[in-house]
Structure 1
Amino acid sequence: MKLNEWLNNEVPNISKSLEEIHKDYFSIDKTIGFEGQETIYKILRNFRSALFPCLCDKVTHDDTRLNITIGNNLRISALNLKDLIEKVLLNDSNIPLGEITKHSEEVVMNLINKFPKLRRVLQTDIQAAYNGDPATTSTEEILLSYPSIQTMTIHRIAHELYKEGVPVIPRIMSEYAHQLTGIDIHPGASIGEYFFIDHGTGVVIGETCTIGKNVKIYQGVTLGAKSFPLDEHGNPIKGIKRHPNIEDNVVIYAGATILGGDTTIGQNSVIGGNIWLTQSVPDNSRVYQTQPLPNIKS
């Protein structure tokens, strides 16, 4: 049988089988799909341009034109985001059907109303990077090139949607940041002002982690869970505190792993590289490895 004949005869049956298998697990008409995923990426780019107008494709020094550009980015992204929130709420929500549109609109308005505040908080993250990295020459360099700022811009937006109870979309946003930067922050994580991740690759921050102000962490740090308590069916119990608390003015060096919802790193502490911690440490602690170096012969 030639390819063209096979395509005409067999592909319709294969397509039907794939459709039926998918319907066993997902409602095709109620998921946002890969197209919705791409729309979320575009929304984030537009939001980023609105938060940082110097990132717009066509930078203008005319205040009126700049205001229009920012406004247009917000308007089109707000409408697209509202449509996506409606769809995910239809698929995963206890909100009455007749109230979903109104609720979606309120979520979007609440988010964008917070943008001036988010912009000011993001400026503290930029300043933390400038203060904490002697290699940088300007805040512009940080904004345009540092993965920490790109990640935190997305995280601070996703976190607001997470707090509003929006399903799916915040996690797609956080995984987009993960894809771009190698930094994996769950949208549920609560992070204070002046936060900086130096280098960034391989950082993991879990859903129930809380991080105070003026915290600096390096590449390869994991703020994770000790284990997952299981229910009577052997499935992980959701909605419980699993990840650590990091208080103000803490520095965590590369490769450190800090686990557990009952673990707190006290303020003004320094956690050395490659440390494994599953218990709390008090304020002003210094935690580091004391294992002696091996003898080295030249």
Structure 2
Amino acid sequence: MTVKMEASEGGMPHNTLMIYGIVVAVVGTYLTYLNVVTGIAVFSFFGGIAAIAALWWGSDTIKHLCSYGLGTGVPSAGMVAFGSGAIAMIAGTKFGLASPIVTLILAAILGAVIGYIANSIINMNIPVMVTSLMEMAVVGAMTMLGFAAMCTGTFMFSGLVVGGMTLSMEPSAGAAGGAQTFLVTVLPEFAGSLIGGAALAVIFFLGAMALQHPFNACLGPNESQDRTLMLAIEVGFLSMFVVAVMSYAFLDLVSATVGVAISLIGWFYSYKQYIALSKRDAYDWLDAKPIREVGGDQ
């Protein structure tokens, strides 16, 4: 038996949100390929925009799933999303230019399997379980892929596991005339890469917290869709800022700084919008006049 707690009604239909989220996430990830086309990494920030789009959509998915309960499943839903999404993301990056599409498909399949197990074997009996876990697995995978592309400038596997190259020189057989020759070998370095250096683990938790926080924070009798989604954008930009700082280890100074600047501008704007929406909802709920602030209009 399940009991559904009603969340906000109205607003943008969930399927519309999903379409927008998928399109922007996939297109944004592909736009990072402009780094390869142009030879500069300044377009890496598009990966962060792609990740935010996925988080924006995912926060609404969590609302639909976790309205069947007391809200205590919100954090675990975020971890399930990124746990399954991480598997799909790492496997999907092996497919070259098709990586974003393959990642999306693999994540959807994995999410459907997990949803089926949860509903039909564990008997959680939540009507939207299978579709919601499918969506959240895709959200987790596309968020990690987007942030990984922003951090390294690529969404392909080799760029995520190889941090650089070193030269190995070994003496070889002497040449004619007694001259000494050396065998030079180029060796890849893995420890300084996104995956080898465990930076992907940071992205995992940044994304998981950004996914689970909006509905967890806005949950209540006066939860409104626009406020929840704006908070998703705000925490998305905040996570993007951390990823942008991490990108200094992988990108050139200018490209990383562009990511930092865009994430800070986006965070500042979305934070102001979220505070305004919070005041609006608080005013409506209390049926009282807004508190007048010093130096402000309200």
Is TM (by shorter chain) over 0.5?
Answer: no
Whose strand fraction is larger, Structure 1's or Structure 2's? Answer: 1
Higher relative contact order (CA 8 A, sep 6+): 2
- TM-score scaled to structure 2, two decimals? 0.33
TM-score (norm 1): 0.33
